[in-house]
Structure 1
């Protein structure tokens, strides 16, 4: 789900945090405290009929060869307005040109969705989503869903285990609020939107939600792939927005480093007095 093929380059002058991001595994994030003044931004390719694309930020290539269902790791981007251009990787035909605004110490997903084919049910578009910045506490997990299926229409998504809705009458291009649940394995049931969330189930997806993590699930692909310009069935692509375990480990490491520096200072001072 997360692109291992994607080559990430610097979109702006980046500090230590980007080096940390590049060294982590798929879908993980770095601590926001490492680079004050920057936002963290990732890119999600959820257009099922679009080819691989490159993403340019302020005239420089930030992401290369991003394919359908790929989601990059988080990149540091200076706060403010940025010109974003999305071009096809093969011949650099522009499919989107626009401006994206980000704030310092916030996290965002820039999602490309819709269709590039003629007679598109949903036109190709870029949506900027605000992501979670803090991990759930205790044995809790949190998850939100983003509707990125061009032909599914409004949908409800419920947990099979409880019947609770994680998405109620969700429409294309929009994200739900985060829902907090206990960690565990959940079956997501996708249905056409109905007043009581009791429509016929058209797809089910089993996913593990781990404690301390916040997730975004992209509901993408086609509900009727046989009639679509690309044979991409309805799928759920789950990505980690906040990895609580790693975030806690990074905080502990920072505290330990600070303590070590203070202790070293005391030891040097004692030696000098002696």
Structure 2
């Protein structure tokens, strides 16, 4: 698993799993490396950096055998929580890529992810939801976020080069109405590293 800090108004955090610190001063928009771990239950506690009392998150996660997961710290500091996004391996055609979308902006309404020409890749994605992967050709894309079902563009995401034989997730983060503003993170997913 890896951890994504996607809570836009939360400070940097230290993260502990069963009492062992697994991340130090993870800041907004930051990802940890993928951390190998045996399957089972883990008590996850998240503290503002440098503190070890009064965690902002204290929860239990269950890791399944042979799973790859991004555990996202989401919401505002007032309602901060962890949301798992499991990466499900699927057959990959050589020379293609696989893309999905996850909506982590706490004040944004339902959105569509489109291309600049209006082609809708994903429709009506609500906060905390993620889509299935779709297959695309590798190239440089110009993406847009639009209010669901409308032509109203709320974010332009130009010149994103996606390479073949990889899995990606586009994470929408930040505030639709506030600072830090709406933006996307496009990391390579861990299942890209697994043998076919």
- The normalised TM-score by structure 2 is 0.91
Contact 1:136 1:211 in 2 (8 A): no
RMSD over aligned Cα, in angstroms? 1.9
Change in Cα spacing, 1:84 to 1:153, as seen in structure 2 (3 Å) is: same
Q: Which has the higher helix share?
A: 1
**2:73 counterpart of 1:112:** yes
Aligned residue among 131, 140, 150 for 2:87:
131
Choose the corresponding residue for 1:211, options 151, 161, 164: 164
Rg: which structure is higher? 1
Task: Identify, as 1 or 2, the structure richer in strand.
Answer: 2
1:73-112 superposed matches below 5 A? 73-92=33-52, 93-112=54-73
Q: Number of matched residues?
A: 194
C-alpha separation in 1, matches of 2:115 and 2:99:
12
Deviations 1:20-52 (A, max 9, x none): xxxxxxxxxxxxxxxxxxxxx000000000000
How far did residue 192 of structure 1 move? 1.1
Please say if residues 143 and 180 of structure 1, whose CA atoms lie closer than 8 Å, have aligned partners that are also in contact: yes
Partner of residue 177, structure 1:
132
> In the TM superposition, what whole-angstrom CA distance separates every residue of 1:194-244 from its partner, at most 9, and x where no partner exists?
2xxx3311111121110001011110011122xxxxx21111100101475
- 1:28 is matched with none
Q: Does 1:202 align with 2:154?
A: yes
Residue 122 of structure 2 aligns to a residue whose secondary structure is strand
**Cα distance in 2 for residues equivalent to 1:247 and 1:130:** 14
User: Aligned partners of 1:209, 1:139: CA distance in 2, in Å?
Assistant: 11
Partner of 1:240: 188
Task: Tell me if the contact between 1:135 and 1:212 (Cα under 8 Å) persists in the aligned partners.
Answer: no
* Stretches of structure 2 lacking an aligned partner (at least 5 in a row): none
- Higher relative contact order at CA 8 Å, sep ≥6: structure 1 or structure 2? 2
Q: 1:112 Cα shift?
A: 0.4
**Which residue in the other structure is 1:154 paired with?**
110
Q: 1:216-227 maps to which residues of 2 (within 5 A)?
A: 216-225=169-178
Distance 1:159 1:128, change over 3 A: same
